Amino acid sequence: MKNPLVLFLGLAVVLGLTACSAPAEEPMTDMNTVIVDVEEEMMNDTDMEEEADMEEEAMTKDIVGTAIDTPALSTLVAAVQAADLVETLQSEGPFTVFAPTNDAFAAIQDTVDTLLLPENQADLQGVLTYHVVAGAVNAADLTDGMEVETVQGGTLTVNITDGVVQINGATVVIADVNTSNGVVHVIDTVLVP
């Protein structure tokens, strides 16, 4: 929403400067430019406020809500639902989730199709909980060679080379997506226990 006072003051400044410096016969072509500049600055401020609101909103969503709102994680969401882990990942936590992208799941599509069958729910739960660590672990907390225990009971090894973080060979493509009950790191490979 444009602030009329700012526009009025911008217009007054332009008119005052133009009256003092421009000959009467010259057209006032710069007035529109200044008004547009003032409007763009106001829009940039609005964009920054909206971005801050979006970040704050993400912090109010839990891990599952954040994944649902992320199109690249729709396969993970379907797997979490099929494994009956939604309530667990919506609980207080905190949890750290290494979340494989849709492309990561597509790379092992036959295995995914098998795991999504109702009779394989326990196996699917094992694979998914292998991607979850108790506690909120941000990227800054990870060190090269570090081992973290998963909720499934296995161990993940962290490797950091030239600033690139890998978890058991899977590259972290988006780090530190903070949620109301933990943190999500998006990875490019499905981790297999």
Lowest average pLDDT, out of 21-30, 73-82, 140-149, 178-187, goes to 21-30
Question: Which amino acid makes up residue 94?
Answer: P
Report, as an integer, the average pLDDT of 125-153.
95
Could you tell me the pTM of the whole model? 0.69
Is pLDDT at 100 greater than 50 in this prediction? yes
pLDDT at 58: 52
pLDDT-derived band at 48, boundaries 50, 70, 90? low
Nearest to 154 by CA among 116, 191, 100, 114: 191
Nearest to 192 by CA among 164, 161, 143, 154: 154
Q: Where are the domains of the chain?
A: 4-59, 61-187
Query: Does the pLDDT of residue 113 top 90, yes or no?
Result: yes
Quick one: average pLDDT of 104-130? 95
Q: What is the pLDDT of residue 27?
A: 47
Residue 140 neighbours by CB distance under 10 Å: 8
Place of tokens 């993940």: 156
Top CATH class, 61-187: mainly beta
pLDDT > 80? residue 128:
yes
pLDDT at position 86, please? Answer: 95
